[in-house]
Amino acid sequence: MTLAYILFILLRSTMFASLMASLFFCFKSYNPRYLRLFPFYNLLALVTESIVDIYYSEADNILQSTYETPYNVFTLIEFIFLTHIFFKLLVKKNQRIILSFLVISYLIVFVKVFLSRTAFNFSTWKCVLPLNLYFTINCLLYLHYVFKELPYSELQKEPSFFIITGVLFYSVVSTPALIFSAHKNPVSDLLYVLLTNTAYIFLHLSFIKAYTCRIPKS
């Protein structure tokens, strides 16, 4: 059993656990309302990975040449979803101005890439690399705000802190992984798999922590 396969199993298990945790905790009255969107995000993420696993992974499959299409569709949905979350969390006027500028900038990039190819069949890194930059800047804006405004004891009970920390970690770690993916050799392929899977596992573990950090103590 290879390390890549172990990470694959861990990732799918973590994504499923994150989905189950979101269904159980995100609709609780003591949690913020924006968490109620996360079960749908988790389900879509798991469905996207499953579709790729089933229909796009085999080299002799006629769909293999368009295997990045599901990821590109999910990337756009993820952008819309997390942008909604950022607008919920970034409440200062200057933060909103920066966020609005970044949203417009990313949409221009995405539309340009989209129009350059047939529908969503383009190299995923072309829209994910700028998306990672977009996520990173917004996450840093949020963390700068909460570290100034909230004591550490309050951060431990704040779901958004763990969500943003997970998104930031994933964005930073997956960026070099996407660069490695451009070099088609065994070493770069292994680094890509290790970095992306590790980052995605951490992201969903952070989500699980976010869903459960406000459980009332008896």
What is the domain range of residue 173?
3-212
Distances from the Cα of 42 to the Cα of 89, 113, 218, angstroms: 20, 26, 29
* pLDDT tens per residue, range 173-183: 999 888 877 66
Residue 217, in any domain of the structure = no
At 178 the pLDDT is 81
Q: How many domains does the chain have?
A: 1
At 67 the pLDDT is 65
At 214 the pLDDT is 78
Q: Which residues of the chain fall short of a pLDDT of 70?
A: 1, 56-67, 117-122, 182-186, 216-218
